[in-house]
């Protein structure tokens, strides 16, 4: 099992909140989501997740640029194309449950 390190800001900020954890296990995606946190703070939950996931995509593109030298804007474009295609025609099912 390979866990990622927490970013330094998480350790410094006593109010930090984990929003998503994703794993590849048993040949598929397994994740936990912090659904309802933004709504309970008075925000639009889907809009907030959209902003959050856009930030994640930018972080991925920047990391790939740093690691491989690929321009982050081109990586972002490629990710968005594949994201759109995957949402339209998923290559796997999303199964599971969301305990409250």
In this prediction, residues 86-91 reach a mean pLDDT of 95
- DSSP letters of 16-84? ----EEEEEETTEEEEEE-TTHHHHTTS-HHHHHHHHHHHHHHHHHHHHHHHH---HHHHHHHHHHHHH
Per-residue pLDDT of 8-25, as tens digits, reads 999 999 999 999 999 999
Overall domain count for the chain: 1
In a domain, 54, yes or no: yes
The residue segments making up the domain with residue 53 are: 8-88
In a domain, 51, yes or no: yes
In a domain, 100, yes or no: no
pLDDT band at 95 (very low <50, low <70, confident <90, very high): confident
In a domain, 21, yes or no: yes
């Amino acid at each position: 099992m390979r866990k990622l390190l927490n970013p330094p800001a998480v350790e410094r900020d006593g109010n930090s909140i984990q929003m998503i954890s994703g794993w590849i296990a048993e040949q598929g995606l397994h994740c936990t989501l912090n659904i309802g946190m933004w709504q309970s703070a008075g925000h639009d939950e889907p809009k907030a997740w959209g902003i959050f996931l856009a930030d994640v995509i930018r972080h991925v593109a920047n990391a790939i640029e740093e690691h491989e030298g690929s321009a982050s804007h081109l990586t972002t474009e490629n990710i968005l194309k594949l994201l759109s295609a995957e949402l339209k025609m998923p290559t796997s099912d999303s199964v599971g449950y969301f305990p409250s």
